Amino acid sequence: MRMIQEAYVTDAVWLSIAFVSGLIAKRVGLPTLIGFLITGIVLNILGVKSGHISDILHVLSDLGIMLLLFTIGLKIKIQSLFQKTVWLTASLHVLIMVVIVGLLLFLLSYTSLQMFSDLSFKACFLIAFALSFSSTVFAAKILEERSDLSSFHGKLTIGILIIQDIFAVLFLGFTAPETPGLWIFAIPVYLYLIHFVLYKLLDFSGHGELLTVFGFFAAFVAGAFAFKWMGVKADLGALAIGMLLVYHPKAEELYDHMMGYKDFFLIAFFVSIGLTGLPGWNTLFTAFILLIFLVLKSGLFMMLLSRIGVKARSAFLTTISLSHFSEFGLIIGLVAVQSGWLSQDWLLVLAMLMIFSFLIASPINASAHRLFDRYSKWIMKMNNRRGTDDTEIKDFGEAEYLIIGMGSIGRPAYDYLNQIYPGKVTGIDYKQEYAKALVEKGYRVYWGDASYRTFWTYKRMASVKLVLLAMSDFTSNKNTLTEIVKMRRRKFKVAVITHYPEEAAQFKKWNVDFIYDYKSNIGVDFAEKSSLYA
């Protein structure tokens, strides 16, 4: 009984600190995950880092990572990984980082710096390999908070991270004490067969709590457990199953069901990182030296992406999303320590390096769009020789009604307005594949990013009378409105959809012409339409 009470107290302590830290971070304009990192550091200082709290955080963290990769899989189609911008960028980046950073570390091994002086040639390139990776968990969370997960650069970021994960699996396969068994060759057959089973089960799962249970079953049993049993990383199995289900009609609904659970479990991941350990001055100094390589890492991503053919804005936003170090560095460090290639102190160095990179990357990512707008004059010089604009749309022709976001809200709005004003309605969506699919169905839809400053040029908007911001999340609508309000001579009116009173209050400050409160008006609309049949 006493142990149970102590467990309750411990859980209450870390959850309370996590909530308060996350709340403070949000209030000062930082991503909440910074607060969760600080929670781990505070717990470390308080000496609460072992026993029950360590066990519970480890379990929750594993669940969070698997759910994250499963939900990412529900957004990624496998053919996107075969695009040159994805696999070639990821492969070249790892190769160049390993060579350059490895050689620089080898040069440092000839200095009198304590942590570097004893590094072997193999250890130098092993550390360089660890520094070439970016954190899938961190990047996905940042993209989600910016509402960029489904954007062109968001999918490009995730694609590069998945290729990096494949490199990680290969590394672990060659360095693990026990090589994977022959069952690893059965994975393609397993995925082919389980695909039919899961599709049938998802069909029968309905729309309630059984759908949620199906999500956990698919991620942990059909994915993580099965892959682990066959000798492959468990979280890679969760990702693979998510990618199998991406074409199912209920994939989007399943994604929405699992998001809340994923967010809670991921709190433990960031808390556990901050709980790694308290460093000494020598450890901190070494981590700060390695932090310089973050500049090299970022510059290399920007150069490769822009040279391979990605336009400057997308290359910049993708680079920002990948400019940090990965928890995989700790896994490499652990393998190296167990093999006798690195000393135990390097584990703490790599942990501190990852935390520092997260702390630097979080506020930069939160301001990514504003940073591009501010420095676009220089960033756009990275475009190809034709100097084409990042926005794909040249003009809207005679469109008078512009709908931003062609999802569950925007598409019915398009259908309604197009019946009344045929040929005068245009839709915009930043999901390329979805926009292309709508065009094939006869919709006048373009791919574009309305949060981009040059999207709102006066020439392009000459005939537009009304813009409807029909995106379902507040952040996307806010980012777009931020650019619209900068237009001093705009002639069109703006309508926006909201879900909460505080969102409506924010939009009122920007003098939006019409605000539709979704939750308040849906009942009124229902009554109005149904009364016609009375």
SS (H, E, C) 53-106: HHHHHHHHHHHHHHHHHHHHHCCCCHHHHHCHHHHHHHHHHHHHHHHHHHHHHH
pLDDT tens digit sequence for 329-357: 777 776 777 677 888 788 778 888 888 89
Would you state the pLDDT for residue 202? 92
Residue type, 31: P
Instruction: Say what percent of the chain tops pLDDT 70.
Output: 89
- Range 248-277 average pLDDT: 79
Residue 285: CB partners within 8 Å, gap ≥ 6?
115
Geometric angle at alpha carbon 336, from 330 and 337, rounded to 5°: 90
Q: Which has more confidence, 423 or 348?
A: 423
Highest mean pLDDT among 70-84, 264-278, 505-519: 505-519
Residue 299 pLDDT greater than 90, yes or no: yes
- Please name which of 318, 282, 286, 290 lies closest in space to residue 302, comparing C-alpha atoms: 318
Highest mean pLDDT among 100-114, 140-154, 515-529: 100-114
- Range 21-38 average pLDDT: 79
Q: Which has more confidence, 76 or 468?
A: 468
CB 179 within 8 A of CB 173: yes
- CATH class in words for 401-533: alpha beta
- For every residue of 160-171, which 3-state class applies, written as one string? HHHHHHHHHHHH
Would you state the pLDDT for residue 468? 92
Would you state the pLDDT for residue 388? 41
* Number of helices (H), then strands (E), in the chain: 24, 6
Tell me the domain boundaries of the chain.
Answer: 2-382, 401-533
pLDDT tens digit sequence for 180-220: 566 677 888 998 899 999 999 999 888 888 988 999 999 99
For the chain, give the longest Cα–Cα distance: 88
pLDDT tens digit sequence for 372-419: 878 877 887 776 654 443 445 666 777 889 999 888 888 999 999 999
pLDDT tens digit sequence for 67-85: 877 887 887 777 777 788 8
Q: Which has more confidence, 94 or 330?
A: 94
Q: Which has more confidence, 532 or 252?
A: 252
Lowest mean pLDDT among 55-69, 204-218, 234-248: 55-69
CATH topology for 2-382? Na+/H+ antiporter like fold (1.20.1530)
Would you state the pLDDT for residue 4? 55
Q: State the pTM of this model.
A: 0.74
- Range 272-290 average pLDDT: 80
Would you state the pLDDT for residue 390? 45
Geometric angle at alpha carbon 13, from 12 and 15, rounded to 5°: 65
d(CA 473, CA 68): 19
Residue 103 pLDDT greater than 90, yes or no: yes
d(CA 95, CA 138): 22
Residue 291 pLDDT greater than 90, yes or no: yes
Going by pLDDT thresholds of 50, 70 and 90, the confidence category of residue 502 is: confident
pLDDT tens digit sequence for 124-162: 998 999 899 998 878 888 887 777 877 788 888 988 988
State the number of CA atoms in the 13 A half-sphere of 517 facing the CB: 13
Residue 522 pLDDT greater than 80, yes or no: no
List residues bridging with 425 in a β-sheet. 401
